[in-house]
Structure 1
């Protein structure tokens, strides 16, 4: 598989060959939700957890329920076959837009048909150490319902990542609107401090990440406020469904090297 594969409204094709109507609210307004699922040796990992979060988020935002798991499993299996990923790894992105509207404006029409599409691209989970900064310009809104959902609007994360690149770093950590460490641009934050792995609580504004949730459920991590900066003696990781990257430096502060990132990540699948 070179360019990946996509499906939209019953049509298969390459991601660049399929199109959305210009009236789609996901395209116009970022009005939609998505899930990114790891495919390993042809099998979607933690699919139940991803789809549960998807449905919860749709309910929170007043959207209709996404497609049923039985429908998705058949489509995913066919996508894996078409992409020849039975023995490989990939990143599956499931997209759920509120749909097309024939009128402009923010208000969603009461009669509107939501739209579903997905892409499957080759992906190798990554565990390489990174340097980060704490963004000076972007903050997660601890009180916003959107912070609890994996929605289409990633402009803030893009800006924070760009800020990190200008500072010769790989990624950025985000404080929340109350000034506490919250998360990375596209991953949850785990910090090993005082003998335990800790992660900010959900009311910090961090996304309820799937791997974060598994670490809590299995007792490998606990919720705890982390303050406004990483500390000397900390180990730190940015973790999501597609990898787990140790933080080696934050704003120039060298952290304790972490050699268990890959082992921890695999233990959560």
Structure 2
């Protein structure tokens, strides 16, 4: 897959073997850029417009002028799927940087942004969706503007690697004892029939799937409470789950070696999983 990535700043489709990355590139040298990961089911995008909208919000937040309109990028991304004959489940990685220019901390003048996109296969993780995953907790050492989906991901990478080394799927971040989100997903606590999650502030990424979870909760008449719960609250949770474009609505059944509830995915998590699958027009998962 991803045989024909596109370099959007030049409106060019090219084979991946022909790609050359400039050594003086702002994304490479400064992490000076933003990105999106867009889910594909059965050859169709899920939440495409939401992701494009967020890309433009992130770009505006770092004063990055994109060389295309929302409609132009959307059409090019649709063309990308067609050129790659994408008919299965997968994802598109979409990135924009401030461009290629001699290395200097200040913004380069008269340099157009670079925009790249490519397709990858991504089968659904049916086993984890059915059985749930484990997580660890770690201090949130990231910057204060996590609502920007920027390329500066080293703290996330280190936390995700530590989770893997501990046999876990995710790392749950917290500041001053209050849970913010995970290394690559939003996180939710269920207690007494209510869904609790961190408010959509500058301190977390406003996930596209998170917005859908809030909508699903309203549709199911489930209270969706935007308040910060603590690390200590996790041990008393009835359910815990996370959401992202690649993980979907994923149950968390243990944290730092302690079971959540009875150690099985809970009823409310299952309801939200089913709502997600219906919304994304995908077949119910089976192990």
TM-score by length of 1: 0.88
Structure 2 Cα separation of the partners of residues 169 and 4 of structure 1: 32
Equivalent residue, structure 2, for 1:156? 155
Flag the 1:64–1:34 CA change in 2: closer, same or farther, 3 A. Answer: same
User: Of the candidates 234, 257, 262, which is equivalent to residue 273 of structure 2?
Assistant: 262
1:48 CA displacement: 1.6
1:267 CA displacement: 4.8
Q: Summarize deviations over 1:210-234 as a string: whole Å, max 9, x none.
A: 1112222452533121112412343
Structure 1 Cα separation of the partners of residues 42 and 167 of structure 2: 35
Q: Secondary structure at the residue paired with 1:101?
A: coil
Q: Does 1:227 align with 2:233?
A: no
Flag the 1:117–1:186 CA change in 2: closer, same or farther, 3 A. Answer: same
TM-score by length of 2: 0.83
Structure 2 Cα separation of the partners of residues 72 and 14 of structure 1: 19
Equivalent residue, structure 2, for 1:249? 254
Q: Secondary structure at the residue paired with 1:172?
A: strand
Equivalent residue, structure 1, for 2:39? 38
**More displaced stretch, 64-73 vs 121-130:** 64-73
Give runs of ≥4 in structure 1 deviating > 3 Å: 13-17
**More displaced stretch, 54-63 vs 230-239:** 230-239
Structure 2 Cα separation of the partners of residues 66 and 262 of structure 1: 37
**More displaced stretch, 61-70 vs 239-248:** 61-70
Structure 2 Cα separation of the partners of residues 121 and 99 of structure 1: 24
Q: Summarize deviations over 1:115-157 as a string: whole Å, max 9, x none.
A: 1110111112335121111025x4344xx22x11111111111
Q: Summarize deviations over 1:24-56 as a string: whole Å, max 9, x none.
A: 101111100011111222222112211111111
1:66 CA displacement: 5.5
1:14 CA displacement: 4.4
Q: Structure 2: which 5+ runs fail to align?
A: 281-287
Structure 1 Cα separation of the partners of residues 134 and 121 of structure 2: 25
The correspondence of residues 60-99 of structure 1 with structure 2, limited to 5 A, is 60-65=61-66, 67-85=68-86, 87-99=87-99
| Matched pairs, number | 261
Structure 1 Cα separation of the partners of residues 273 and 42 of structure 2: 18
Equivalent residue, structure 1, for 2:283? none
Q: Structure 1: which 5+ runs fail to align?
A: none
User: Of the candidates 203, 210, 213, which is equivalent to residue 211 of structure 2?
Assistant: 213
Structure 1 Cα separation of the partners of residues 230 and 136 of structure 2: 15
Does structure 1 conserve the Cα–Cα contact (< 8 Å) formed by 2:52 and 2:74? no
Flag the 1:179–1:69 CA change in 2: closer, same or farther, 3 A. Answer: same
Does structure 1 conserve the Cα–Cα contact (< 8 Å) formed by 2:33 and 2:97? yes
The correspondence of residues 172-187 of structure 1 with structure 2, limited to 5 A, is 172-176=171-175, 178-187=176-185
Structure 1 Cα separation of the partners of residues 3 and 169 of structure 2: 26
